[in-house]
């Protein structure tokens, strides 16, 4: 899913439009090799409770350093992986690795949030893959949150509903990533067993100066609470943004102000 917004103020590729078929095929090949050679790593970005200041969770974010390509951003390679299908083995590796890590952090009482791509979710045995990974790591599902995109809920809503109900019954938490940037049908909010909405960085970035962003953030926070959902703001970079979010009643935040995504051993030191 290509995004028009950039990170860090840059405009990222929309790979479908800007990359030739050949470069996408080369990248696909490089990703398959990287999987085989275990070049992918997971970093963890803290999620902080805005009332207590405690770290209550971590989002697992994939990192890739390739000898020839250097550091490749997931904003660049994940959309191509989704196009070519290699996101399925990559996503399943992410799931397994993040759950193993979560199992090592059981006693720390933090929830690990894992990004799930649409194609990965569409695997007919997706629920079984999650439940097998939990069993193998001897981890309670309560420590795991799956970050879904709005596109997951739109494509084949009936199949999605079934899987989400099975995951919720299993005890896994479910959140909507980049809330408000997808095909914003609010209909699914009442149908699906969700736990949390993630306010997209693009709405946080210019708060509290931009009145529209303030209104949108406040509306998402109020909507979440009215629906008994938790709400987290992503991309929090300044004290002003944090103060605004506390004032608006947001539950949690995640962003460079507190910490970027860091390797597991550094994350442990932070805890
Ligand atoms: P996302 O899931 O919305 O993740 C948040 C992104 O915002 C991450 O970028 C994170 O490093 C970045 N970020 C966090 N705080 C700040 C901040 O304060 N300022 C700014 N400017 N950025 C911040 P990252 O790691 O480059 O990942 C980009 C996207 O790639 C993710 O967006 C997600 O859609 C995808 N992605 C990353 N890892 C995975 C993965 O393991 N599986 C899947 N399917 N997708 C992934
Ligand atoms: Mg995410
Ligand atoms: Mg996000
Ligand atoms: Mg995002």
What are the pLDDT digits (tens) for 86-119? 999 999 999 999 999 999 999 999 999 999 999 9
182 C-beta closer than 6 A to ligand 1: no
7 C-beta closer than 6 A to ligand 1: yes
115 C-beta closer than 6 A to ligand 1: yes
Q: What SS3 state is found at 227? A: coil
pLDDT at position 12 is 42
Q: What SS3 state is found at 137? A: coil
Retrieve residue 234's tokens. Answer: 């992503």
pTM of the predicted model as reported, rounded to 2 decimal places: 0.94
Retrieve residue 228's tokens. Answer: 């008994």
- Tell me, what DSSP letter sits at residue 140? -
Nearest-ligand number for the alpha carbon of 254: 1
Strand extents, DSSP E, 124-265: 144-148, 173-179, 196-199, 230-234, 252-254
Distance CA 80, CA 70 (A): 17
61 C-beta closer than 6 A to ligand 1: yes
Least confident of 8-12, 58-62, 212-216: 8-12
If you count them, how many residues does the chain have? Answer: 271
Which is the closest atom of ligand 1 to the Cα of 7? 21
Which is the closest atom of ligand 1 to the Cα of 42? 41
CB atoms within 10 A of CB 115: 20
79 C-beta closer than 6 A to ligand 1: no
Nearest-ligand number for the alpha carbon of 148: 2
Centre of ligand 3 to C-alpha 248, Å, is 20
Which is the closest atom of ligand 1 to the Cα of 178? 3
Distance CA 15, CA 11 (A): 12
**Percent of the residues in the chain that have a pLDDT greater than 90, as a whole number:** 82
Distance CA 204, CA 196 (A): 17
Centre of ligand 4 to C-alpha 242, Å, is 18
Nearest-ligand number for the alpha carbon of 1: 1
Task: For the chain, give percent helix, strand, coil, nearest 5.
Answer: 50, 20, 30
Centre of ligand 3 to C-alpha 199, Å, is 8
Distance CA 166, CA 97 (A): 22
Question: Which residue has a Cα nearest atom 7 of ligand 1?
Answer: 235
169-226 pLDDT, tens digit each: 999 999 999 998 887 678 888 889 999 999 999 999 999 999 999 999 999 999 999 9
Q: Which residues surround ligand 2, an ion (CB under 5 A)?
A: 115, 147, 177
């Amino acid at each position: 899913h290509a995004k028009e917004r950039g990170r860090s103020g840059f405009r990222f590729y929309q790979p479908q439009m800007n990359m030739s078929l050949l470069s996408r095929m080369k990248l696909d090949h490089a990703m398959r090799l990287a999987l085989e050679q275990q070049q992918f790593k997971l970093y963890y970005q803290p999620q902080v409770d805005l009332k207590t200041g405690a770290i209550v969770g971590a989002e697992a974010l994939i990192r890739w350093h390739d000898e020839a390509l250097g550091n490749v951003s997931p904003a660049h390679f994940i959309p191509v992986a989704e196009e070519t299908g290699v996101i399925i083995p990559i996503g399943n590796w992410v799931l397994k690795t993040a759950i193993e890590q979560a199992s090592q952090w059981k006693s720390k009482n933090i929830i690990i949030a894992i990004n799930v791509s649409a194609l990965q979710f569409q695997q007919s045995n997706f629920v079984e893959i999650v439940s097998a990974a939990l069993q193998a790591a001897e981890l309670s599902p309560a420590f795991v949150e799956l970050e879904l995109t709005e596109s997951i809920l739109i494509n084949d809503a009936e199949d999605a509903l079934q899987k989400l109900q099975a995951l919720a019954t299993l005890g896994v938490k479910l959140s909507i990533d980049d809330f408000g940037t997808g095909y914003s049908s609010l209909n699914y909010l009442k149908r699906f067993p969700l736990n949390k909405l993630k306010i997209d960085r693009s709405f946080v970035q210019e708060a509290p100066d931009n009145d529209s962003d303030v209104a949108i953030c406040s509306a998402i926070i109020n909507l979440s609470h009215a629906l008994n959902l938790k709400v987290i703001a992503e991309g929090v970079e300044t004290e002003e943004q944090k103060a605004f979010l506390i004032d608006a009643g947001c539950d949690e935040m995640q962003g460079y102000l507190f910490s970027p995504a860091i390797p597991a051993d550094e994350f442990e030191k932070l805890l």
